[in-house]
């Protein structure tokens, strides 16, 4: 239940802004390159975030299923569940460390920050997608579909 509430809170925090919402105030225009990098970073976040609930649910299903499976399938199921847990923590960890730099006065630092975040969010997204794909495939296999 706590994870569900945390998900709702995080989704609200990251999902409530509209495209173009950038905390800009008159006289405090955002550098277009910084804005572009910010949008690219958030694109990856927005692709992953809707699947976080599925990752959490699938992880639990595979952990539970392991109790009724043969030794080899149980090992595979627990391994996939572990990877889903790593994916979940990767997303949550990335969100915790992310700091909106749109209003930063030092444009060069903001660009470096977003370039670094872009590398981090791409890596997190790839790991997340891989764990989710493998978890789905194993669940399908176990279901006999």
Please check whether residue 10 lies inside any domain of the structure: no
Percent of residues in the chain assigned helix, strand, coil, to nearest 5: 80, 0, 20
Domain count, the chain: 1
Please check whether residue 124 lies inside any domain of the structure: yes
Q: Give the rounded percent of residues in the chain with a pLDDT score beyond 90.
A: 72
Domain that holds residue 98: 31-143
Confidence (pLDDT) at 126: 97
- Whether the Cβ atoms of residue 129 and residue 56 lie closer than 8 Å to each other: no
Confidence (pLDDT) at 3: 59
**Cα separation, 117 vs 120, whole angstroms:** 5
The per-residue pLDDT for range 13-53, each reduced to its tens digit, is 545 444 444 444 445 678 999 999 999 999 999 999 999 99
Please check whether residue 18 lies inside any domain of the structure: no
Please check whether residue 79 lies inside any domain of the structure: yes
Which secondary-structure segment (H or E) carries 90? helix 71-97
Please check whether residue 111 lies inside any domain of the structure: yes
Residue 117 has pLDDT above 80, yes or no: yes
Please check whether residue 36 lies inside any domain of the structure: yes
Average pLDDT of 57-77? 95
Please check whether residue 76 lies inside any domain of the structure: yes
Please check whether residue 131 lies inside any domain of the structure: yes
């Amino acid at each position: 239940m706590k994870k569900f509430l945390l998900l709702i809170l995080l989704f609200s925090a990251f999902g409530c802004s509209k495209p173009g919402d950038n905390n800009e105030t008159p006289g405090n225009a955002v550098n277009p390159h910084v804005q572009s990098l910010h949008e690219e970073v958030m694109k990856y976040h927005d692709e992953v975030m809707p699947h976080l609930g599925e990752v959490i649910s699938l992880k639990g299903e595979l952990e539970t299923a392991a109790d009724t499976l043969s030794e080899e399938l149980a090992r595979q199921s627990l391994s996939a569940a572990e990877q889903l847990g790593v994916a979940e923590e990767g997303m949550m960890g990335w969100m915790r460390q992310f700091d909106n730099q749109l209003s930063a006065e030092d444009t060069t630092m903001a660009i470096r920050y977003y370039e670094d975040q872009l590398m981090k969010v791409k890596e997190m997204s790839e790991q997340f997608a891989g764990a989710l794909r493998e978890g789905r495939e194993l669940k399908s296999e176990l279901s006999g579909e």
